[in-house]
Structure 1
Amino acid sequence: MASSENVLEWPQKDKRRFLHAVYRVGDLDRTIKFYTECFGMKLLRKRDVPEEKYANAFLGFGPEDTNFAVELTYNYGVDKYDIGTGFGHFAIATEDITKLVETVRASGGKVAREPGPVKGGTTVIAFVDDPDGYKFEIIQRGPTPEPLCQVMLRVGDLERSIQFYQKACGMKLLRKKDVPDYKYTIAMMGYADEHETTVLELTYNYGVTEYTKGNAYAQVAISTEDVYKSAEVVDIVTKELGGKITRQPGPIPGLNTKITSFLDPDGWKTVLVDHVDFLKELGKA
């Protein structure tokens, strides 16, 4: 049997990327309209599952086999969700922040922060709210292959979270910034440079160790070449740092896509999805 040291090397060898973030919305068509007209996203696919009483839609800035997407879920008859205090925001990079913010405003969207330099820095950002109250940070940036560039979550112990995502998910710590004037520290975690791909932004607010999760944001999905090996690693890491496996590795009934899912030490959920199975789902393998 392989030692735990050898097992723990697997995430560094595995080819991984962020696939999509899953969250719930109160009106699917309203959100699709907002994301396509205001943000410039494309509707990639949509499906209705009446026997399970839900529908979902995938949107993003490029095909799902190369780009990150949002997976919106509408549960029949539920028009409102609690976002909670732990979920932070998604982020969109754009070459013209003023134009994007004005488009949101013209469509009746809420501009929560006008474009301007970030506190204590030079990057120009703005914040807008979507129709369900999810916050989107808009970042002024040059051309990028991945405009849908961040998922921000708040955590209670930043060092523990950094270690967890490095060990369990094979992410790199791309950047860490402490902002004592505003009493918070952030860590950017991911698989490639944050100007080229989607990253997980973990935020620690001084002295705050717990947040409410609400019932709106669900999870982030990441591809893996082997869900069984990956789950073995997660099992070891959760015993050390906290969190737990919520779904043992194996195929989803009826779909045959192999997945495993787990919670991090703060209760944030990640789903690891077999890379080849995912491409088959998309009709690309």
Structure 2
Amino acid sequence: MGARRALHFVFKVGNRGQSARFYRDLLGMRILRHEEFEEGCKATCNGPYDGKWSKTMVGYGPEDDHFVAELTYNYGVGEYRLGSDFLGMTLLSSQAVSNARKMGWPLKEVAKGIFEAEAPGGYKFYLEDKEQPKQDPVLKVTLAVSNLQKSVSYWSDLLGMKIYETNEEKQRALLGYADNQCKLELQGIGGAVDHGTAFGRIAFSCPKEELPNIEALMKKEKQKILTPLVSLDTPGKATVQVVILADPDGHEICFVGDEAFRELSKMDPNGNKLLDDAMAADKSDEWFAKHKMQKASA
């Protein structure tokens, strides 16, 4: 098995302005690239929507060696219902804690030196009040599972993740592809996992030639494949191949060919401007207000 790496987590956002303020000004992330699309994605990257949408990648550094957030915005949708599936992203940054205090953003201390901040849309971020490391400050993404043993088996036996820690008593396991990468934490919640309409997606890369093998293995093991191997185009950028899976609890998992993805995900120095221009040009809120209508709630 070639080297695999954790890439990003996809969040659906209903308000780009508020979201940009949280990720840029509070967390201190940079806009790595911003892309606009006229129609829905073949691999449902923007969810089950056909219309115009955008994708904004935000993070602490290049996607080559940082775990980042992908913010997808559907022009006609103002809000999404949160489920119980995404339990949080944990990162090391005393600067983010300080930014939150300066901005008057609500912070809740959940353990000594660890603060919970809620992003627009209700997504939880856990900020460890420690100096931000030079390498990637994003430590882990925590997802809810209904059966810890079954999920650990799926992620380790089928997807080849290394098990770093397991705690049966606390119903928790920590997995990952490498010591220096963002980890995946699975947390048992003792019941079914609800994905709401805000359901996210976690993405990983692997050598392109492994994608058909991943798909074949899932077929053989009778596991769910949401999108069979497909090529995705981004206007003016590299075409990538992806296969989209679902784990036993229905968490969406994207595997993308690493070589083309590195080309696609190069930092765009105009990312900030492209996002700001797109937000300035987006008159959808005014249109709905003028027609005395509310944006759709997904």
- Using the size of structure 1 for normalisation, the TM-score is 0.81
Aligned to 1:121: none
Aligned to 1:6: none
Moved >4 Å (runs of 4+): none
Amino acid at match of 1:265: P
Deviation (angstroms), 1:55 = 1.3
Correspondence 1:242-281 to 2 at 5 A: 243-252=223-232, 256-281=239-264
Correspondence 1:132-143 to 2 at 5 A: 132-141=121-130, 143=133
Deviation (angstroms), 1:277 = 1.4
Aligned to 2:16: 28
Deviation (angstroms), 1:191 = 1.1
Q: Note closer, same or farther for the CA distance 1:48–1:278 as it changes in structure 2 (3 Å cut).
A: same
Aligned to 1:204: 188
Correspondence 1:42-81 to 2 at 5 A: 42-51=30-39, 52-81=51-80
- In structure 2, distance between residues paired with 1:85 and 1:102: 28
Asked whether the equivalents of residues 223 and 272 of structure 1 are also in contact (C-alpha less than 8 Å), the reply is yes
> Which of residues 183, 187, 191 in structure 1 aligns to 2:173?
187
Asked whether the equivalents of residues 91 and 140 of structure 2 are also in contact (C-alpha less than 8 Å), the reply is yes
Correspondence 1:206-245 to 2 at 5 A: 208-225=190-207, 226-237=210-221, 239=222, 243-245=223-225
Amino acid at match of 1:258: Q
Residue 117 of structure 2 corresponds to residue 128 of structure 1: yes
Give 5+ residue unaligned stretches, structure 2: 40-50, 268-298
> Which of residues 95, 100, 109 in structure 1 aligns to 2:96?
100
Q: How many residues align?
A: 250
- Using the size of structure 2 for normalisation, the TM-score is 0.78
Aligned to 1:10: none
Deviations 1:27-53 (A, max 9, x none): 113212211111111110112224441
Asked whether the equivalents of residues 200 and 252 of structure 2 are also in contact (C-alpha less than 8 Å), the reply is yes
Structure 1 window deviating more from structure 2 (141-150 vs 272-281): it is: 141-150
- In structure 1, distance between residues paired with 2:127 and 2:167: 19
Q: Note closer, same or farther for the CA distance 1:102–1:67 as it changes in structure 2 (3 Å cut).
A: closer
Identity %: 29
Deviations 1:222-275 (A, max 9, x none): 0011211121223334x2xxx401111132267631110110000001010001
Give 5+ residue unaligned stretches, structure 1: 1-12, 118-123
Aligned to 1:7: none
